[in-house]
Amino acid sequence: MKDDVELTREDRVANLKGMGCARKRVEDARFTQGKGNYIDDINLPGMLHGDFVRSPYAHAKVLSINTEAAMALDGVIAVLTAKDLEPLSLHWMPTLAGDKQMVLADGKVLFQGQEVAFVVATDRYIAADAVELVEVEYEDLPVITDPFEALKSDIVLREDLAGQTSGAHGPRKHHNHIFTWEVGDEEATNQVMDEAEVVAEETMYYHRTHPCPLETCGSVASMDKVNGKLTVYGTFQAPHVVRTVASLLSGIEEHNIRVISPDIGGGFGNKVGVYPGYVCSIVASIVTGVPVKWVEDRMENLMSTAFARDYWMKGRISATKDGKITGLHCHVTADHGAFDACADPTKFPAGFMSVCTGSYDIPVAYLGVDGVYTNKAPGGVSYRCSFRVTEAVYFIERMIEVLAIELNMDAAELRRINFIGKDQFPYQSALGWEYDSGDYHTAWDKALKAVDYEGLRREQSERVTAFKQGETRSLMGIGLAFFTEIVGAGPVKNCDILGMGMFDSCEIRIHPTGSAIARLGTISQGQGHATTFAQILASEIGIPADSITIEEGDTDTAPYGLGTYGSRSTPVAGAATAMAGRKIRAKAQMIAAYLLEVHDDDVEFDVDRFVVKGAPERFKTMAEVAYAAYNQAIPGIEPGLEAVSYYDPPNMTYPFGAYVCVMDIDVDTGVPTIRRFYALDDCGTRINPMVIEGQIHGGLTEALAVALGQEIAYDDMGNVKTGTLMDFFLPTAWEVPNYETDHTVTPSPHHPIGAKGVGESPHVGGVPCFSNAVMDAFRAFGLRHSNMPHDHWRIWQTAQDLGLHK
């Protein structure tokens, strides 16, 4: 400790690598050397392998399943069907959205790729061969892939729900209807619309897409019949919730279940839900008494595990002639597929879609959402966003553009005059949210200045002239987006999943020699928690981040938490980390005071030590305090230095940002070229600028994908047309433009360190920004709106419809 005396305070701060430090990600040493430990790396002695027989039909009766030939194949141990699961009541399972879902086809199939039988064999290759040998006799039924048709059709998709006029979210209007969810005052909104000087209307389809993490979903279940313990390794974004669900479903007491999320190769919402593969691997392990692994392949991932979006949104926005918005009306027809397996907090069947008033001061609004069954895969997860927030932000950012067209007004100016003002925070939105903080005008002005917005508009107008004169076949689009995210679910009073309040947790142990371990209820899927949470703690307790291990994902060791999705880790578990750190500090202060022989109140914390007030040469470092905590009897203080905190956030956090995209569009080929992308993010207090930048690059890239081509498309027969990465657009370095990142800092007033979460902001803001750039290019030629994804042919079609091809 003597050396420390020589260090300046600045040096001591730097040594901690605490908040604000662009510390390199500690995870990357193993990931970049191929030393990660993903689900498929887990191999247990005697382990068997499972594989699914899946339905080639989108809607069919299952007349018979003959497993004889498959069972006859050497190495096949079992072929499970719904009949085998029925005695255990596991042929169906509850979904997170209050519906139920077939684990294995029970008499019929409702989407292409649905799980029909589960083959268990001694190796993965035999399992795949045996899948081919299972003979399933189907009788095909009429297929519905359109939600509007579903609501009119006599065909009953969910015969198991026949006659049920009410579901988990209230009355059902039709046998293919799931729920109606309404927020806001429709009558008042309609009245405002009727009286408005200007009303703009638009219908838009936010297409179905898929999170497509690089690692697909999988699990390894291991039932130890001797001690009655079940261990389940899996690609779980919420391991603790999985344990509770597994206990409720299986009847195994929760203490006898250990759920482990190992390294996860991306989640983006795809790994929040519970899938039939998890259940089947567990049942198969219970039946066989040996470990059973199930890992899906890419096609299975795209076809059967949770999709995102698929929202038909009809909007009306009213304003004065000067552009002051007076009201917003939104109705959504939500295609949930065959089962309602959305991953939303229980009381929010359309997630936080009600943040669709965006960043604007809109006095009156209404949102209605109707959920509908179709013959498509179940899901409806938040793909790199908080619950349905990408849909909400895309909706409002399109409505703003449409209103700007209606008013013949500049869309940047229209945004500016309608922003919620800095002095209006905390702001009560018309649809019930309390925005915690924001400074939108500053961010917007900074963004527009950075890109020379007026210069861009001049250039664009010159381009239009040149195009009209036949001098170029290229148009220029300027995409604008201003978004407000709503993340960090959430207050236990209104946010739960399956009844579990959405708090999160952190438990810290300081070791005698001054290093530490902290365990959290969240689980990183690439976000870099081991890096950033250590930085929060370093700043809170004065132990260098390099001396702090962060551990997550093992339910036997980590405190209970609701997991990682919806940018909730930093807002919730990050807060728990800071709070637990403060408990450590409080106890450490008493120990330091004792060691320094002064009163508790006469010492103060300074970076990495406790100093006697007014006598900076008299201090004890946190390391010295830790040693004393374990090695010295201190009157009135328990030995040890540990703390745990469960944090129930008082509110969500509201990160925001201002994005601008400049795009050139080749009118004859439909090829867009992104010339420039500027992203200003305000995520409150910034923990690690480098991790933030990485998050923004990743989120923008997924936004580019969704806006410009990524979709799960079905034909009329319910066949998935985009089941491989040949057709499902996953951008590589080649397709990705250079991103310019920037920021403002408006700390959250209620978060212990002022942080708001950032991982999903770029996706939420990026999708409308890329899309608006495409549509803006055609504004001068009369385009109001065209649906995503803006792949080459759809852009070409837009130009064609506008008569731009001679």
Partner 1 sequence: MIPAAFDYYRPKDMAGVLALLQEHGDDARVMAGGHSLIPMMKLRMAEVPHLIDLQDVPGMSEISIGDGKIRIGALVTQHDIIAHEGLAQSAPILREAAMQIADPQVRYMGTVGGNLANGDPGNDMPGLMQCLDAQFTLVGADGERSVAAREFYEAAYMTARADDEVLTEITLATPNGGYAYEKQKRKIGDYATAAAAVQITRDGSRCASASIAMTNLSDVPVWSQSAGSALVDTEVGSDAIKAAVAYMLDEIDPTEDNRGPVAFKRHVAGAILTRAIQRAWSRA
User: Measuring CA to CA, which residue among 274, 344, 267, 761 is closest to residue 524?
Assistant: 267
Stretch that binds partner 1, among 54-62, 120-128, 196-204, 585-593 (CB under 8 A): 120-128
> In angstroms, what is the minimal distance from the CB of 736 to partner 1?
11
Give catalytic status of residue 112 as yes or no. Answer: no
Binding mask 199-238 for partner 1 (x = CB under 8 A): ----------------------------------------
> In angstroms, what is the minimal distance from the CB of 121 to partner 1?
11
Contact flag: residue 805 with partner 1 (CB under 8 A): yes
> In angstroms, what is the minimal distance from the CB of 624 to partner 1?
54
Options 209, 281, 505, 722; binder of partner 1; rule CB under 8 A: 722
Q: Of residues 101, 112, 114, 237, which has the active-site annotation?
A: 237
Contact 389, 704 (CB under 8 A): no
Stretch that binds partner 1, among 167-175, 292-300, 310-318, 328-336 (CB under 8 A): 292-300
Give catalytic status of residue 683 as yes or no. Answer: no
> In angstroms, what is the minimal distance from the CB of 776 to partner 1?
22
Distances (CA, A) of 427 to 366, 394, 399, 501, 744: 17, 21, 21, 25, 19
H or E stretch covering 794? helix 792-801
Contact flag: residue 297 with partner 1 (CB under 8 A): yes
Stretch that binds partner 1, among 225-233, 272-280, 669-677, 754-762 (CB under 8 A): 669-677
Running DSSP on this structure, what letter comes out for residue 524? -
- Cβ-in-10-Å burial (0-12, 13-18, 19+) of 468 comes to exposed
> In angstroms, what is the minimal distance from the CB of 417 to partner 1?
39
Contact 708, 794 (CB under 8 A): no
Contact flag: residue 727 with partner 1 (CB under 8 A): yes
Contact flag: residue 792 with partner 1 (CB under 8 A): yes
Options 125, 197, 424, 557; binder of partner 1; rule CB under 8 A: 125
- What CA–CA distance (Å, rounded) separates 606 from 430? 44
Contact 360, 396 (CB under 8 A): yes
Contact 434, 484 (CB under 8 A): no
Tokens 């190796």 map to which residue?
123
Options 111, 233, 311, 796; binder of partner 1; rule CB under 8 A: 796
Contact flag: residue 673 with partner 1 (CB under 8 A): no
Contact flag: residue 135 with partner 1 (CB under 8 A): no
Nearer to partner 1, 630 or 793 (CB): 793
Nearer to partner 1, 357 or 722 (CB): 722
Tokens 């903080």 map to which residue?
437
Contact flag: residue 734 with partner 1 (CB under 8 A): yes
What residues pair up with 53 in beta bridges, in sequence order?
A: 117
> In angstroms, what is the minimal distance from the CB of 398 to partner 1?
24
Distances (CA, A) of 34 to 235, 265, 529, 554: 18, 12, 19, 22
Contact 689, 707 (CB under 8 A): no
Q: Of residues 316, 384, 568, 609, which has the active-site annotation?
A: 384
Running DSSP on this structure, what letter comes out for residue 420? P
Taking phi over 0 as left and psi of -120 to 50 as alpha, with beta for the rest, 380 belongs to left
Side-chain half-sphere of 174: how many Cα atoms within 13 Å? 19
Distances (CA, A) of 421 to 1, 362, 442, 745, 757: 51, 12, 10, 16, 22
Contact flag: residue 471 with partner 1 (CB under 8 A): no
Nearer to partner 1, 689 or 731 (CB): 731
Handedness of CA 628, 630, 633, 636 (dihedral sign): positive
Q: Which amino acid is at 444?
A: W
> In angstroms, what is the minimal distance from the CB of 726 to partner 1?
7
Nearer to partner 1, 533 or 729 (CB): 729
> In angstroms, what is the minimal distance from the CB of 790 to partner 1?
12
> In angstroms, what is the minimal distance from the CB of 210 to partner 1?
15
Options 12, 24, 61, 298; binder of partner 1; rule CB under 8 A: 298
Contact flag: residue 129 with partner 1 (CB under 8 A): yes
Contact flag: residue 721 with partner 1 (CB under 8 A): yes
- What CA–CA distance (Å, rounded) separates 489 from 500? 12
> In angstroms, what is the minimal distance from the CB of 654 to partner 1?
35
Nearer to partner 1, 197 or 668 (CB): 668
Options 590, 637, 671, 690; binder of partner 1; rule CB under 8 A: 671
Nearer to partner 1, 217 or 755 (CB): 217
Options 44, 128, 168, 466; binder of partner 1; rule CB under 8 A: 128
- What CA–CA distance (Å, rounded) separates 672 from 461? 18
User: Measuring CA to CA, which residue among 385, 346, 388, 389 is closest to residue 494?
Assistant: 346
Tokens 């926005």 map to which residue?
317
Nearer to partner 1, 126 or 545 (CB): 126
Stretch that binds partner 1, among 58-66, 350-358, 543-551, 788-796 (CB under 8 A): 788-796
Nearer to partner 1, 261 or 701 (CB): 701
Q: Of residues 212, 217, 330, 385, which has the active-site annotation?
A: 385
Q: DSSP for 191-219? A: HHHHH-SEEEEEEEEEEEE----SS--EE
> In angstroms, what is the minimal distance from the CB of 262 to partner 1?
22
Give catalytic status of residue 237 as yes or no. Answer: yes
What residues pair up with 206 in beta bridges, in sequence order?
A: 311
> In angstroms, what is the minimal distance from the CB of 781 to partner 1?
17
Side-chain half-sphere of 93: how many Cα atoms within 13 Å? 26
Name every residue whose Cβ is closer than 8 Å to that of residue 363 and which is 6 or more positions away in sequence. 192, 326, 327, 430
What residues pair up with 198 in beta bridges, in sequence order?
A: 319
- What CA–CA distance (Å, rounded) separates 301 from 559? 30
> In angstroms, what is the minimal distance from the CB of 708 to partner 1?
9
Nearer to partner 1, 117 or 755 (CB): 117
User: Measuring CA to CA, which residue among 248, 342, 337, 232 is closest to residue 286?
Assistant: 232
Contact flag: residue 606 with partner 1 (CB under 8 A): no
Binding-site size for partner 1 (CB under 8 A) equals 31
Options 162, 226, 633, 726; binder of partner 1; rule CB under 8 A: 726
Q: Of residues 300, 330, 760, 769, which has the active-site annotation?
A: 760
What three-state secondary structure class fits 136?
A: strand
Name every residue whose Cβ is closer than 8 Å to that of residue 154 and which is 6 or more positions away in sequence. none
Distances (CA, A) of 628 to 143, 517, 620, 624, 697: 71, 18, 10, 6, 45
Contact flag: residue 735 with partner 1 (CB under 8 A): yes
Give catalytic status of residue 527 as yes or no. Answer: no
- What CA–CA distance (Å, rounded) separates 302 from 270? 10
Options 713, 752, 761, 778; binder of partner 1; rule CB under 8 A: 713
Nearer to partner 1, 557 or 800 (CB): 800
What residues pair up with 222 in beta bridges, in sequence order?
A: 231
Binding mask 742-781 for partner 1 (x = CB under 8 A): ----------------------------------------
Options 68, 132, 195, 462; binder of partner 1; rule CB under 8 A: 132
Options 179, 419, 482, 729; binder of partner 1; rule CB under 8 A: 729
Contact flag: residue 160 with partner 1 (CB under 8 A): no
Options 601, 732, 738, 803; binder of partner 1; rule CB under 8 A: 732
Which sequence positions are flagged as catalytic?
A: 237, 384-385, 760
Binding site for partner 1 (CB under 8 A): 124-125, 128-129, 132, 297-299, 668-671, 709, 713, 721-722, 725-727, 729, 731-732, 734-735, 791-793, 796-797, 800, 805
